[in-house]
Structure 1
Amino acid sequence: MKQIRQIITSTIIVSSLMFTACKKQPVSPQIPTPQPQQPTGKLSKLVYDTGAYDSLYYLADGRLSKLVNNIDPAAGGGVSYELRYDVSGKIERINSSEGWYYLYQYANGKLASISQYMNEHKSSYKFFNYNNDVLTSMELYNYNGAARGYEFSGLHTYSFYPDGNLKEEVTYTVNAFTGQLIKHMTIEYSDYDNKLNAEELVRQVPYYYGIVRMKNNPGKRITKRERAMVSSPHSIASLLMINRQNP
Structure 2
Amino acid sequence: MLLFSCKKQDQPAPVPGTETKLLKKIYTSANDFQLFTYNESKQLVKLTNQYVDDPINNGIITEEAVLTYESNKLKRVQHEGGYMIYHYTGNHLDSIQNFTLTNRLMSVDYPEINAQNQLVTVTTKLPGLFPGLPIALQRLFTYSASGNLTEMRYSFKRTTNGVYELQERIVFSAYDSKQNPDQFSYTEHYIPGLIFMKNNPGRVQYYDDNGDVSEDINFVYQFDSAGWVSKKTATTVGSPNPEVAFYEYY
Change (3 A) 1:113 1:174: same
Q: Which residue of 1 aligns with 2:247?
A: none
| 1:90 is the counterpart of 2:73 | yes
| Aligned counterparts of 2:156 and 2:29: Cα–Cα separation in 1 | 30
- Listed as ranges, the matches of 1:125-136 within 5 Å are 125-132=108-115, 133-136=117-120
Q: Which residue of 2 aligns with 1:32?
A: none
Equivalent of residue 177 in structure 2, options 194, 210, 214? 194
| 1:241 is the counterpart of 2:250 | no
Change (3 A) 1:44 1:217: same
**What is the identity, as a one-letter code, of the residue corresponding to 1:153?**
A
Q: Which residue of 1 aligns with 2:49?
A: 69
| Aligned counterparts of 2:160 and 2:125: Cα–Cα separation in 1 | 16
- Listed as ranges, the matches of 1:73-222 within 5 Å are 74-87=58-71, 89-96=72-79, 98-107=80-89, 109-118=91-100, 119-132=102-115, 133-145=117-129, 152-176=135-159, 179-201=162-184, 207-210=189-192, 211-222=194-205
What do you get for the CA RMSD once the two structures are aligned? 3.0
| Aligned counterparts of 1:117 and 1:161: Cα–Cα separation in 2 | 34
Which residues of structure 1 form unaligned runs of 5+?
Answer: 1-40, 228-234
| Aligned counterparts of 2:30 and 2:89: Cα–Cα separation in 1 | 39
Q: Which residue of 2 aligns with 1:52?
A: 32
Higher relative contact order (CA 8 A, sep 6+): 2
Change (3 A) 1:195 1:160: same
Which residues of structure 2 form unaligned runs of 5+?
Answer: 1-20, 223-228, 231-250
**Equivalent position SS for 2:137:** strand
| Aligned counterparts of 2:32 and 2:61: Cα–Cα separation in 1 | 12
Q: Is the 8 A contact 1:201 1:209 kept in 2?
A: no
| Aligned counterparts of 2:69 and 2:174: Cα–Cα separation in 1 | 35
How far off its partner does 1:173 sit? 1.9
Q: How many residues align?
A: 195
Change (3 A) 1:202 1:108: farther
| Aligned counterparts of 1:115 and 1:244: Cα–Cα separation in 2 | 36
Q: Is the 8 A contact 1:114 1:126 kept in 2?
A: yes
Q: 61-70 vs 173-182, which deviates more?
A: 173-182
Q: Which residue of 2 aligns with 1:21?
A: none
| Aligned counterparts of 1:81 and 1:102: Cα–Cα separation in 2 | 10
Structure with the higher fraction of residues in strand conformation? 2
| Aligned counterparts of 1:198 and 1:65: Cα–Cα separation in 2 | 17
TM-score, normalised relative to structure 1: 0.67
Q: Is the 8 A contact 2:26 2:33 kept in 1?
A: yes
